[in-house]
Amino acid sequence: MAANTIHAIYTDDDVLMNAVKQTRAENYRISEIYTPFPVHGLDEAVGLAPTRLAITAFLYGLVGFTVAVAMMNYIMIQDWPQNIGGKPSFTFYQNMPAFIPIMFELTVFFAGHLMVITFYMRSRLWPFKKAENPDLRTTDDHFLMEVDAENHDVEKLTQFLYKTGASEINLIQIEQDH
């Protein structure tokens, strides 16, 4: 079974933003937007839910902080206590001022590295993955809005998209497996 999708190409990000708002106001479903750079406010205009990646960054930072505390407590207090610079090595809290830079660095290290891994997994960006970009011009200076044309009059939708400022419109047949 084939699904109809319309690719509307725009040459300006402000025109694209207005077109997205008008398209959503007419109750057409926008399935994807491809841009050469991030467009501020586009996620809200399309109606995307806020991301939860900030929560995972905080949790990854907590993991890094916990690893730092456990590592320093084991290495510097339990396993091999040393008198460095006259500081007592009997308890963790007595040495904690000297450990603050290490705790901070491991918190940032874990949060940063695990966030990169999470982002790539969430975005399904694997090594050697073939690009899914439908039009190479969107990596340079064009913007592409993908609109579902199923259950809509294609001619009417095409005219509507031209009125929103689209410079080019293509009807795409996507084969779907059941």
First to last CA, the chain: 8
Each residue's pLDDT expressed in tens, for the chain with a length of 178 residues = 457 899 999 999 999 999 999 999 999 999 999 999 999 999 999 998 888 888 999 999 999 999 999 999 998 888 888 777 777 677 788 888 888 999 999 999 999 999 999 989 988 888 888 888 888 898 899 999 999 988 888 899 999 999 999 999 998 887 666 5
Q: Write the pLDDT tens digit of every residue in 150-166.
A: 888 889 999 999 999 99
Letter for the amino acid at 145?
M
For residue 125, the model assigns a pLDDT of: 86
pTM of the prediction? 0.71
CATH number of 2-36+141-175: 3.30.70.120
Domain ranges of the chain: 2-36+141-175, 53-122
In order of 29, 107, 161, the CA distances from 26 in angstroms are: 9, 47, 11
What pLDDT does 57 receive? 95
Handedness of CA 36, 45, 123, 61 (dihedral sign): positive
Question: What are the φ/ψ torsions at residue 143 (nearest 5 degrees)?
Answer: -125, 135
| The pLDDT value given to residue 66 | 97
For residue 144, give the amino acid letter: L
Per-residue pLDDT reduced to its tens digit, 41-61:
999 999 988 888 889 999 999
For residue 10, the surrounding DSSP H or E stretch is: strand 2-10
- For the range 111-120, what are the long-range contacts, defined as Cβ-Cβ under 8 Å and sequence gap of 24 or more? 111/57, 111/58, 111/60, 111/61, 111/64, 114/56, 114/60, 114/63, 115/53, 115/56, 115/57, 115/60, 118/53, 118/56, 118/60, 119/53
**31: DSSP letter:** E
Torsion of CA 10, 15, 20, 21, to 10 degrees: -170
Q: Could you give the CA distance from residue 34 to residue 42 in angstroms, rounded to a whole number? A: 11
- Among 48, 28, 29, residue whose Cα is nearest residue 38: 48
From residue 9, how far is each of 23, 44, 71, 151, 177 by CA, in Å?
A: 14, 20, 54, 22, 27
- CA pair distance 48, 151, nearest whole angstrom: 23
